[in-house]
Chains A and B, each alone.
Chain A
């Protein structure tokens, strides 16, 4: 192969946060006209490494070369100077401004601000790479994928030709992902260097030219995508071979457990979030919920858990002996006191499911601290439970006294799921249980969920990765804009069809049910 000067070469990069080593003499090389997939488990230092390239952190050690010249990137401004732009997982946009205004923010151009010119340039960029975006649209009116487009345009506008995308597809539908990939391929043809962080192997195989793998902050190696496969890559990033298949045992004796009828929910602003939703969740079965994010998944789970005021409709809980309890408009404490063991793994792990500044033991206490008549806390049992969860789910933590905020995403989720499962639930609600988790952690969560199903728990699984939903669920309920656009059997469901149902109501499907 001919020798090319890499667009970016990172050499011997180390970064520590206190006692935590995020990057340990890591390396990375990316060429122009190439899409590089950066793989690694949670906490393997991918994002940190990229943040150093984007000028957000400054490396403790090591060098960065841009086009062969040594570069010092001490701020995002420096990064732009070298043509480096990063699209973060969490968008950094001002909601009340339009796309053009957001792009113009922070520009240091001479003369007066000419928004029209900005908008024209945005349209040019859109045409060039195949985006669809109205520069005058306000951010709050946009879908997640449009917001992402604004973020990408923002860095392109600043002349970036080295782009870093941190898990860009985590929030997109299959159709939107396909569009994004088209755009990225167009950029590659335009000789841009693109680094994409992702956990999804199928995307790596579909999109990237080369794969680089990080493990525990250190560089493991890189290879051409066409010369490798998902199993090999997973093995490389975990450090040992892994099995990549999700089990789906047949449900044993499913009986209705939760019956939802005509559920209608408005959010605090009075917007209709759920409209006449009806379904049944059965024991020993996984009910998958598919839908574009914000289609009412959150409200649905929160309404069942007693956290969301219900406008109309009913939620009933059916016990083993056939007696029924009304859960509608009951708060979580009342539901618990009724003897309904309902576990809920919410989407917002640290903001709702756990307390970030508390340690693992204190977080275990959240569910159980009320037990007993003593005025004082029982610390012994939660401590025991914490030790068990850490051991059984192999949570990677220095000790039980570490605030959960300091743990990586996968470990935070293990703590949360571990606690929720520990109470031997009859109903398990999970929202985006594997969001941001690496392969190893994800498969562990799938297995935990399957174990609950085998134990006869009625599992409601809200997911975003359609491939997984189709592999895991016994039945799939598709939500579209707060309404049920259909309930299909999970076995044999077609991905394209589900994708379409997510974006428009299919009358026939609803009637068939």
Chain B
């Protein structure tokens, strides 16, 4: 039976800093990047996958990919006894194959592709675009632009550094998971702040839905 309730994700600041502890009594646990919490909960609720629980690692690990593999290992070890199946909703995410190796060793599946930009766009389509001068944002990163881009690069204190970071980029590509005019306006303004052209692509959830359907098991697809 479909669970038709909508689960509210924690606020973005909490997802950025703390992540999300799993709740529910599902058989399947998805360990995800905090930047995917809203999207995963939305897909889960829309499909009634009540047996699928979600745990999120702090989304800010996106800025520290060298810490992702260790954090995923720890989370898998912590929850292993409580779940029949664990899956990892991360792509490579800058780990240079280390996350893939760890998941293989732990016997858990993860999402194919270099990063979430690729699986939202569709991994094959993203690769075919071969856009080396595009700077990507997702819904979450548009909402959390200051915490993930502006402040960590010191642009709040030293805006003169902008071109040292972005001179070789040409376009800010907003990969939109939802059709939200407010987020689009924000993303456009962020492109202007970075001195980049703006392009929006409505991707929806891309390959993320298929990955979750696979993990939800028979009847999930």
Real complex partners, A and B? no
Interface residues of B (CB under 8 A from A): none
Interface residues of A (CB under 8 A from B): none
